[in-house]
Chain A
């Protein structure tokens, strides 16, 4: 089943990073499909909010900029891991190129996929495009409404 409204939640603690993601969204043709927050608390609050609202969709993908945190997927990763009804949500860790030798910690923390952390606008557009092309176009999701 395809998600009626696929969208991506990005957690990036750096305000400049959030702004850069916002700039990348239209270039990746993902207007209204990306929402960016700066903390895990905001991300959890947002997911809880959309789950309470029948008119809003739960994000299919949660991308966590992991470079600026000692905690691989930060609190949102741990939280998602504990939510049985959100088992279909895909946490993706964005990982520094220099730290990509040993990724077991990211996967242990609940990441289902790890991607190189983008370093500029073009790379951000590329990451969003790859995520859309796979997770929106190819992946088949269980009926999200069935989990509400």
Chain B
């Protein structure tokens, strides 16, 4: 399994800003599908087309240094149904720095094979969810994601006041 050593991205930020988390972070490079997903989620959702951008955001690097403006997410959604899967690798939970490793990572796909599932869980997915193309079914799935991960689950990083 790949390993990477990172500096602690949260070591130089205040305790208050390091603990506020809100909404989803979505990684997916299919514009149409991502728009569909975000609309169905009806929740704060910041989207990145590739994993490197998402990691820069999570680490608060460059333009994302202001945590009040760019809060950490309560959960990360990885949309695997698009070309360019290698772009996802940086967001692989196993490769994230320790302070961010426990943000729940949910893999989304239209359909998972057994090998997909084994690979996903081995890579640190907390949950795998089939995100259907059918709009009505997608609404139900999005509602379930929002309800469990934004409302019920207590994230490792404190939820920001809403």
Q: How far is the CA of A45 from the CA of B102 in the complex (A)?
A: 28
Q: Of the 9-residue stretches A7-15, A20-28, A29-37, A107-115, which lies at the interface with chain B? A: A107-115
Identity of the chain A residue whose Cβ is nearest the Cβ of B152 in the assembled complex: A130
Q: Smallest CB–CB gap between B125 and chain A, Å? A: 10
Which residues of the partner chain A approach B102 to less than 8 Å between Cβ atoms?
Answer: 104, 107-108
Which residues of the partner chain A approach B147 to less than 8 Å between Cβ atoms?
Answer: 130, 133-134
Q: Is the Cβ of B114 less than 8 Å from the Cβ of A146?
A: yes
Which residues of the partner chain A approach B148 to less than 8 Å between Cβ atoms?
Answer: 113, 130, 133-134, 138
Q: Is residue A6 contacting chain B, with contact meaning CB distance below 8 A?
A: no
Tally of B interface residues using CB under 8 Å: 25
Tally of A interface residues using CB under 8 Å: 29
Q: How far is the CA of A42 from the CA of B130 in the complex (A)?
A: 34
Question: Which one, A104, A108, A113, A115, contacts B126 given CB within 8 A?
Answer: A113
Which residues of the partner chain B approach A95 to less than 8 Å between Cβ atoms?
Answer: 154
Whether A115 contacts B130 in the complex (CB less than 8 A), given A107-B102, A142-B118, comes out as no
Q: How far is the CA of A70 from the CA of B100 in the complex (A)?
A: 24
Q: Smallest CB–CB gap between B155 and chain A, Å? A: 7
| Residues of B bordering A, CB below 8 Å | 19, 102, 104, 112, 114, 117-118, 121-122, 126-130, 141, 144-145, 147-148, 152-156, 158
Q: Is residue A56 contacting chain B, with contact meaning CB distance below 8 A?
A: no
Question: Which one, A108, A115, A139, A142, contacts B153 given CB within 8 A?
Answer: A115
Which residues of the partner chain B approach A90 to less than 8 Å between Cβ atoms?
Answer: 126-127
Whether A141 contacts B117 in the complex (CB less than 8 A), given A107-B102, A134-B144, comes out as yes
Ordered by A's residue number, 11 sampled pairs between the chains whose C-beta atoms are within 8 Å are A90-B127, A101-B158, A114-B154, A114-B155, A133-B144, A138-B129, A139-B127, A139-B128, A140-B129, A142-B117, A146-B118
Q: Mark A122-148, 1 if CB is under 8 A from B, else 0.
A: 000000001001110111111100100
Of the candidates B19, B118, B152, the one having the most CB atoms from chain A within 10 angstroms of its own CB is: B152
Q: Smallest CB–CB gap between A65 and chain B, Å? A: 14
Q: How far is the CA of A105 from the CA of B117 in the complex (A)?
A: 27
Identity of the chain A residue whose Cβ is nearest the Cβ of B99 in the assembled complex: A104
Q: How far is the CA of A103 from the CA of B117 in the complex (A)?
A: 27
| Residues of A bordering B, CB below 8 Å | 1, 87-88, 90, 95, 100-101, 103-104, 106-108, 112-116, 130, 133-135, 137-143, 146
Q: How far is the CA of A137 from the CA of B144 in the complex (A)?
A: 9
Identity of the chain A residue whose Cβ is nearest the Cβ of B103 in the assembled complex: A107
Q: How far is the CA of A113 from the CA of B121 in the complex (A)?
A: 15
Identity of the chain A residue whose Cβ is nearest the Cβ of B156 in the assembled complex: A107
Q: How far is the CA of A95 from the CA of B158 in the complex (A)?
A: 14
Q: Is the Cβ of A140 less than 8 Å from the Cβ of B114?
A: no
Task: Please provide the 9 A-B residue pairs with the shortest distance between their CB atoms, ordered closest to farther.
Answer: A107-B102, A142-B117, A134-B148, A114-B154, A140-B128, A138-B144, A112-B126, A107-B156, A130-B152
Q: Is the Cβ of B154 less than 8 Å from the Cβ of A138?
A: no
Q: Smallest CB–CB gap between B1 and chain A, Å? A: 12
